[in-house]
Amino acid sequence: MVVIRSSLKLDTPIARLDSTNHKLYLFVDLSYLYLLVTLSNQKFDENSRRMKELYKKLEDHLFTGIGSGEDGITKCTKEIGKTWENKEERRERKRREGLARQIGLRKSGTLSDGNDGDVSTVDDESQGLDNA
């Protein structure tokens, strides 16, 4: 949790509420009230500018290597050049890696296909590894 404090404030008494009849009694005239509204709007604008600057600095320093996926959702990265994967992307990558590992083991003779110890060879296209 982070607390951010600012010196942008405007404390000015402008009226008093009578608790017996619930009427509001102004201490200031309307021209001064309009001046306070103008000053308050300027402070809100400055606060918005500062918040945008803060968001930009946080994004620049905390989330390096911003990328975006096919679905248009922005992904944050911790390592430059590597994006976070969503669940489906990770599942597909792991499936491709597992199939490639099986093919490598079968070709090296380490993995049997279960047919009397014979080592089978599998072509990459039949396993969907043409882009692996």
For each of the chain's 132 residues, which pLDDT tens digit applies?
A: 778 888 888 899 999 999 999 999 999 999 999 999 999 999 999 999 999 998 888 887 776 555 544 444 444 444 445 567 788 888 998 899 988 888 888 888 776 655 544 444 444 444 555 544
Give the gyration radius of the chain's Cα atoms. 32
So what's the pLDDT on residue 78? 47
So what's the pLDDT on residue 88? 87
So what's the pLDDT on residue 71? 42
So what's the pLDDT on residue 109? 77
Contact 30, 36 (CB under 8 A): no
pTM: 0.43
Q: What is the DSSP string of 91-107?
A: HHHHHHHHHHHHHHHHH
